[in-house]
Amino acid sequence: MKTVPQTFKELYKYGTRLEVKKGQLIYDSESGSAEHFAFLLDSGVCALSGLTADGEEQIFLYFKGQRTVGFAQLMPASPQMTRRNHCFSIIAKTDCVLYQITAEVFRDLLDSDPFFTKFMLKVLAENYMDILTRYRQNLEDPTSIRLCRLLIEFAGMQNGMLVMPSFFTYAELARYLGTHPVTIARIMSKLKEDGCISKHGKSTIILDPKRIQKMIDQNTPIDY
């Protein structure tokens, strides 16, 4: 009798471990390759991105560990879903560890493994809600609140301090939030002035996450 995996990491046995360096492409819809894969992201941060009409990078979603990425082209699809009207890629924003699953294995798991099917439905729902939530936030929330939310979501512990990944430059934050780097700089300067964050070289250190979370919860915009 087949053993049904019960945790995300148990799925790693179906894939090949890969170490991807920061800046490398994990998936590119324009690669022209006939072979496609799904990827289980164990650690690191990667981004679903595309190019604007002006050739500028546009970030749609960031993914942290314990997520499945690059699988859309392997899912059962209608003719409307397979039309390639938009080009996109998945790029490693930090060094990442992934497990690469072939199309054959992925589809077999989808057809025969109840846990995997349930897991993929959960992943699709999470991605859908992430995009829907971000769309609503872009329409309704001040830029400063959206920036604060990003700081809280992606900061991690390093040497006893809560630190943002170094790839989150002002330009990167501006691209994701749909604003200008100068606006990001002004908001960050105000957060620093208020004692919420500090800068150490290229690193942003979160000093007062509770205060930042309170601003988010109360939807209190920052006067910058």
CA distances to 97, 176, 209 from 217, rounded to whole Å, are 33, 21, 12
What pLDDT is recorded for position 213?
Answer: 96
Report which of 77, 80, 20 is spatially closest to residue 47, judged by C-alpha positions: 20
What pLDDT is recorded for position 88?
Answer: 82
Per-residue pLDDT of the chain (224 residues; tens, 9 = 90+): 344 456 888 889 999 999 999 999 998 876 655 568 999 999 999 999 887 777 777 888 899 888 889 887 787 664 444 545 557 889 999 999 999 999 999 999 989 888 888 888 888 898 889 888 888 888 899 999 999 999 999 999 988 999 999 999 999 999 899 899 999 999 999 999 999 999 888 889 999 999 999 999 999 899 88
CB 109 within 8 A of CB 116: yes
Report residue 132 as tokens.
């829907």
Q: Where are the domains of the chain?
A: 9-138, 142-217
9-138, what's its fold?
Answer: Jelly Rolls (2.60.120)
What pLDDT is recorded for position 84?
Answer: 52
CB 165 within 8 A of CB 154: yes
What pLDDT is recorded for position 33?
Answer: 54
142-217, what's its fold?
Answer: Arc Repressor Mutant, subunit A (1.10.10)
pLDDT by residue (tens digit) across 61-119?
899 888 889 887 787 664 444 545 557 889 999 999 999 999 999 999 989 888 888 88
What pLDDT is recorded for position 32?
Answer: 54
Three-class DSSP category at 180: coil
CB 66 within 8 A of CB 41: yes
CB 128 within 8 A of CB 198: no
CB 145 within 8 A of CB 215: yes
Beta sheet of 156-158, edge-to-edge order: 156-158, 161-163, 203-206, 197-200
Three-class DSSP category at 46: strand
- Cα separation, 1 vs 175, in Å, equals 50
